[in-house]
Amino acid sequence: MYGKFLITIGGIIAFTILILEFVLLPKRRKLNKELKAELLNHAIVTGGSSGIGLAVAQELINQNCKHVTLIARNEKKLDEALDKLQQHAKSVESSTSISIQSVDVSDAEKITKVASDICTSGKCPIPTMIFNVAGTSTSAPFVDTDYKEFDRLMNINYLGSAYTTRAFLPYMMPKTTSKENFPRAIMFTSSQAGQLGIYGLSAYSASKYALRGLAEALQMELGRVNISVQVAYPPDTDTPGFEVEQIGKPEETKLISETSGLFSPER
CATH number at residue 188: 3.40.50.720
In a domain, 118, yes or no: yes
In a domain, 99, yes or no: yes
Average pLDDT over residues 100-126: 95
In a domain, 51, yes or no: yes
**Tally of structural domains, the chain:** 1
In a domain, 172, yes or no: yes
In a domain, 19, yes or no: no
Average pLDDT over residues 64-88: 96
In a domain, 3, yes or no: no
**Percent of residues in the chain assigned helix, strand, coil, to nearest 5:** 55, 15, 30
pLDDT, one tens digit per residue, over 200-249 is: 899 999 999 999 999 999 999 998 888 999 999 887 665 666 565 666 67
Annotated catalytic residue 2: no
Domain ranges, residue 104: 37-258
pLDDT, one tens digit per residue, over 251-267 is: 776 666 766 666 555 55
Alpha helices in the chain (DSSP H): 2-19, 25-39, 51-62, 75-91, 108-120, 147-153, 160-172, 202-222, 240-245, 251-258
CB 209 within 8 A of CB 194: yes
First to last CA, the chain: 55
Annotated catalytic residue 113: no
Q: How far is CA 225 from CA 23, 29, 33, 128, 181, in A?
A: 28, 22, 19, 13, 7
Torsion angle, CA of 211/215/67/172, rounded to 10 degrees? -130
In a domain, 28, yes or no: no
Given the residues 158, 163, 204, 209, select the one marked as catalytic: 204
Given the residues 190, 205, 207, 257, select the one marked as catalytic: 190
Which strands make up the sheet holding 42-46, listed edge to edge?
Answer: 97-102, 67-72, 42-46, 129-132, 184-189, 227-232
pLDDT, one tens digit per residue, over 150-200 is: 999 999 999 999 999 999 999 999 876 555 567 899 999 998 888 888 888
In a domain, 10, yes or no: no
Given the residues 77, 208, 209, 257, select the one marked as catalytic: 208
Annotated catalytic residue 209: no
* CA separation for the pair 217, 204 (Å, rounded): 21
